[in-house]
């Protein structure tokens, strides 16, 4: 199934001040997540940020929050956002959840598994998730795929949400996100 703009929302999991530096290729990963958030804002895709125990891991990176005019942030101590019961009520209406963030084999994995169990169609953005090690990253993606998650790229997200060329959104996305060197 394709992602549909009127059914999809973006969940940015635990890209936090004290966790991000420990993640493999953190600088480039953060740039790719920022690209995805910015593109989703142009496409009017609702976005939520989660924070795992912010008292210990700090808050979401400010450069990510700044991409959203009124960022919605939820705190949790459970690894899964679903198990934490912290998602606002309006998030129940989205049947498709696009997921990026940290770490692929812990909070992203557990959230994805429980979103699928709750009947959501989940799209994990492979080039916008990370772990401390390549092995954990690969194992996380493999497990999510085998559980029914769709493993996608940032460009797949953008083009599926756009659905067609020639629109004002396509022109804005093309100019801002698809030309020149990308993160």
Annotation marks residue 6 as catalytic: no
Could you report the per-residue pLDDT of 33-54, keeping only the tens digit for each?
A: 999 999 999 999 999 999 999 9
pLDDT of residue 133: 98
For residue 162, what pLDDT band results from cuts at 50, 70 and 90?
A: very high
- Print the domain residue range for 27: 8-176
The CATH number given to whatever domain includes residue 49 is 3.40.50.850
Rounded CA gap, 79 and 111, in Å?
7
Residues 6+ apart with CB under 8 A from 148: 116, 122
The percentage of the chain sitting over the pLDDT mark of 90, rounded to a whole number, equals: 89
| pTM for this predicted structure | 0.96
Nearest to 123 by CA among 31, 40, 26, 44: 40
pLDDT of residue 27: 97
Asked, for residue 127, whether it belongs to a domain, the answer is: yes
Asked, for residue 182, whether it belongs to a domain, the answer is: no
Asked, for residue 16, whether it belongs to a domain, the answer is: yes
Residue in 76, 86, 100, 120 annotated catalytic: 76
Could you report the per-residue pLDDT of 107-152, keeping only the tens digit for each?
A: 999 999 999 999 999 999 999 999 999 999 999 999 999 999 999 9
pLDDT of residue 180: 72
Rounded CA gap, 73 and 61, in Å?
12
Asked, for residue 30, whether it belongs to a domain, the answer is: yes
Domains contained in the chain, number: 1
Asked, for residue 1, whether it belongs to a domain, the answer is: no
For residue 170, what pLDDT band results from cuts at 50, 70 and 90?
A: confident
Asked, for residue 181, whether it belongs to a domain, the answer is: no
End-to-end Cα distance, the chain: 27
Could you report the per-residue pLDDT of 1-12, keeping only the tens digit for each?
A: 899 999 999 999
Asked, for residue 17, whether it belongs to a domain, the answer is: yes
Annotation marks residue 25 as catalytic: no
For residue 1, count CB atoms less than 10 angstroms from its CB and return exposed for 0-12, middle for 13-18, buried for 19 or more: exposed
Annotation marks residue 107 as catalytic: yes
For residue 171, what pLDDT band results from cuts at 50, 70 and 90?
A: confident
Residue in 40, 100, 107, 120 annotated catalytic: 107
pLDDT at 60 over 90: yes
Residue in 14, 40, 86, 120 annotated catalytic: 14
């Amino acid at each position: 199934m394709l992602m549909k703009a009127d059914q999809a929302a973006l969940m940015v999991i635990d890209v936090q001040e004290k966790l991000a530096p420990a993640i493999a290729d953190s600088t480039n990963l953060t740039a790719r997540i920022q690209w995805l958030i910015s593109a989703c804002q142009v496409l009017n895709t609702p976005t939520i940020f989660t924070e795992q125990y912010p008292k210990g891991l700090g808050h979401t990176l400010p450069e990510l929050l700044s991409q959203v005019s009124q960022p919605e942030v939820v705190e949790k101590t459970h690894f899964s956002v679903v198990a934490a019961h912290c998602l606002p009520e309006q998030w129940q209406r989205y049947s498709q959840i696009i997921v990026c963030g940290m770490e692929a084999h812990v909070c992203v994995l557990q959230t994805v598994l429980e979103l699928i169990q709750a009947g959501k169609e989940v799209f994990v953005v492979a080039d916008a998730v990370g772990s401390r090690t390549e092995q954990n990253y690969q194992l996380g993606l493999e497990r999510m795929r085998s559980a029914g998650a769709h493993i996608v790229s940032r460009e797949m997200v953008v083009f599926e949400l756009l659905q067609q060329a020639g629109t004002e959104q396509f022109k804005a996305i093309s100019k801002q996100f698809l030309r020149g060197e990308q993160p």
